[in-house]
Structure 1
Amino acid sequence: MTLFDERLVRLLRDGQRSLSALAVRGHHALYDHLREVVASAMKVDAFYVALFRDPGHVLYAYQYDGSVYALPGLRELNPDGPTGWVFRNRRSYRYRDDGGAVLDRGIPWGDRGRRSADALVVPMRRTGTDEVIGVVSAQAYTSDCYGDAELAALEWLAEVLARMLSTEEENRRFLETLDDGERPAVTRVLSRSMADLVVERVSVVRAAAAELRDALERDGHPLLESARELVRECERLQVDTAEMEFDSYRQAAERFESLSAREREVAALLAEGLTNDEIRERLHIELPTVKTHVGKILRKYGVRQRSAAAAEISAYLGSVRPPG
């Protein structure tokens, strides 16, 4: 920590402790407080946290431009922008290194009438690996805000968040070993259309709550804090819903990828509702072989009924295949 003065060391340590204490309150609370900690350490006009679902998609889970909140959403990964650059190069991006050339190739968000004059985009790595699971970005509308100390501080805080997310995923996988196979597999997969619907509907509620908050603020009304909390609660629900879809996809992908190439072929036909005899005819294999593959698929999915596995596989394959 040679780059950090005593004040920054104290701020980072306090930030780590307070973030750990907020873990039980959900990811929105984590991201919200992380933004506050980063803003205490450096100038922040815009801020975002993004998580990689797979090599082609990224969930922008939390975005703020000044006091303006942007809806969380899943997007195709732009390989030319700063988020894609960090994913590809496995290291931090700094505006000062290229005069903002990579930043300018990114997808505009927030106040599109203003251009960031300095920016940092740093990776979050899965604990104990070099896998980049997401990024954290701080941006400013004035130049020369971020030096080596600011970069190191943001990288340190991003690692704190990455460690918390990694531990949470490890705990989830451990708890899955208790799955008794009775829970309907389809409940494991939240469709993107449903997640999008909830996020969009809640955005309407949030907009109305924000209007109410602003009106109460002008009048100094005693219910002002309640209105502020309603706005925050809408944001929490949007982040949680977007990440539920994100997490359920990742889990479904892990289960499907655990199958062998032939098991995936059988699983795809199972998802279409074909019987064992129909699968035998389609793949030109013996019936006992089909039954063996189906049995292995059910064991890997932790379920006893083929309908439960078929429901999850169908939902997963429907989310990765292009429409039409």
Structure 2
Amino acid sequence: MLSDSTIRALRYADQVIHEADRADVFTVYDACRAAIGAITVLDDFYVALLREDDRRISYPYLFSNGSYAEAGTMTYGPAGVVAWVVASRRPYRYQDDQGALLNRGIRFGDLEPSADAVVVPMLTEGRVVGAVGALSDTPGVMTDEVVAALTWLAAVLLDRIQAVSPRRRLNLGAVYPELEDAGRAGTLMAVNHATSALTALAAEIELVGGLDDAEERAAALSRLSRRCFEVQAALITRLGGHADPDAQRERRTDPLEALSPRERSVVDLVTGPDGDPGNAAVAKALGIGTATVKTHMASVLAKLGLEHRSELRWLVRSGEDDRDVGPPGATTL
């Protein structure tokens, strides 16, 4: 059960989201961040949209220590929080591994390590198409209630982002064509929308230059700054390298494709259903020496960017869609 204060925060966010213009994704992201900030001590917040087949991830919204940050698109690695969330399809919590996975990622904001964090996936049809992260410099503040609230907000975000999906009973794209982001027509529409927004910004900048009152000028500049991030969020949400369920390949990219056949055999044994049997047992099963097993394992960890062999269990997937694995030291239910 959520507390009354958390329910009020989520209801207010839901109201703001529903009242926002259908093309205004920035207000939607901002409302989610404000809701979590009202529930717990929040320093950093982000929304990420991703594509599993080539590990492409886009950040249309980044907020750190009271300021909006520059977003963008990049490739996520095989050994960080994003890879774990994609593999496990469940929320990542700092307390599960004391931030080990979190601190392997690219830092933003003040570049100082966070003391607590939670990252929840946006799930659709069994796929992870995005993630929402809440981070704090204060330890022990990301409670179960925060995880529940963030998970609920992630579903709201996904509903808004994928509002024009042809699988939806109500195809909002027919009524709100500006939301359409598929194909050349959608790209041109997004570009035209951004061009119009930037033209309006240029006109407003000229007006600000003519303001004599310092407070009025400061307020106008603050509005212009927000408008810039609104355009950024809209562009990355529509054009970034995030998931399109209809364009996704049927099979995920194999994270072990860079390994040799012998290295893969070692990994198969180490990540088997009965757990890691140890170097001696692996050597006996493969008919090789223990030293050779150690050499193969060192090569595997180097190629995959991992530090410990126990991390292989959450990275490697055997193709079972219902497999639920956690980070090193976590309890799997």
In structure 2, what is the equivalent of residue 229 of structure 1? Answer: 223
Size of the aligned set, in residue pairs, is: 228
Over aligned residues, Cα RMSD in angstroms? 3.5
Number of the residue aligned with 1:118: 116
Query: Counting helix residues as a fraction of each chain, which structure ranks higher?
Result: 1
Distance 1:7 1:77, change over 3 A: same
1:87 Cα deviation from its structure 2 partner: 1.4
Within the candidate set 160, 163, 185, 1:164 is matched to 160
Give TM-score, length-normalised by structure 1: 0.61
Cα deviation for residue 106 of structure 1 reads: 1.1
Does residue 141 of structure 1 match 2:137?
yes
Map 1:174-213 to 2 at 5 A.
Answer: 175=173, 186-189=184-187
CA separation of 1:53/1:79 partners in 2, compared to 1, >3 Å: closer, same or farther? same
**CA shift at 1:175, angstroms?**
4.5
Q: 1:17 aligns with which of 15, 18, 21?
A: 15
Structure 1 CA distance for aligned equivalents of residues 30 and 61 of structure 2: 8
Q: Which residue of 1 aligns with 2:33?
A: 35
In structure 2, how many angstroms separate the alpha carbons of the residues matched to 1:256 and 1:162?
17
Contact 2:48 2:57 in 1 (8 A): yes
Match of residue 275 from structure 2: none
**Aligned pair in 2 of structure 1 residues 121, 79: CA closer, same or farther (>3 Å)?**
same
Distance of 2:187 and 2:9 partners within structure 1 = 40
Structure 1 residues 156 and 233, CA gap change in structure 2 (3 angstroms) = same
8 A contact 1:48–1:138 mirrored in 2? yes
CA gap of 1:250–1:150, structure 2 versus 1, over 3 A, is: closer
How far did residue 165 of structure 1 move?
Answer: 2.0
Percent identity of paired positions between Structure 1 and Structure 2: 29
Unaligned 5+ runs, structure 1? 180-184, 259-324
1:146/1:186 CA distance change after superposition, 3 Å: closer
Residue type of the alignment partner of 2:149: A
The structure whose RCO (Cα within 8 Å, separation 6+) is larger is: 2
Q: Is 1:44 aligned with 2:38?
A: no
Q: Distance in 1 between matches of 2:13 and 2:91?
A: 21
Per the alignment, residue 84 of structure 2 pairs with 85
The structural deviation recorded for 1:32 is: 1.4
Q: CA deviation at 1:168?
A: 3.5
Q: 1:173/1:81 Cα in 2 relative to 1: closer, same or farther (>3 Å)?
A: farther
The one-character-per-residue Cα deviations of 1:160-213 (angstroms, maximum 9, x if unpaired) are 21222232334797758xx9xxxxx755557xxx99xx99xx8xx99xx8xx99
**SS across alignment from 1:224:** helix
Distance 2:147 2:118 in 1: 7
- In structure 2, the CA distance between the partners of 1:109 and 1:51, relative to structure 1 (3 Å rule), is same
The residue matched to 1:24 in structure 2 has which SS? coil
Q: Give 2:219's aligned amino acid.
A: E
Label 1:145 to 1:240 Cα distance change in 2 as closer, same or farther (>3 A).
same
Moved more, 230-239 or 4-13: 4-13
What SS does structure 2 have at the residue aligned with 1:75?
strand
Unmatched 5+ stretches in structure 2: 178-182, 251-333
Contact 1:50 1:61 in 2 (8 A): yes
AA paired with 1:75? Answer: M
Aligned counterpart for 1:239 among listed residues 233, 237, 247: 233
Query: Would you identify which runs of 4 or more consecutive aligned residues in structure 1 move more than 6 Å?
Result: 171-174, 255-258
| Match in the other structure for 1:302 | none
Instruction: Provide closer, same or farther for how the CA distance between residues 59 and 173 of structure 1 changes in structure 2, counting only shifts above 3 A.
Output: farther
Taking structure 2 as the reference length, what is the TM-score of the superposition? 0.59
CA distance in 2: counterparts of 1:151 and 1:15, whole angstroms? 16
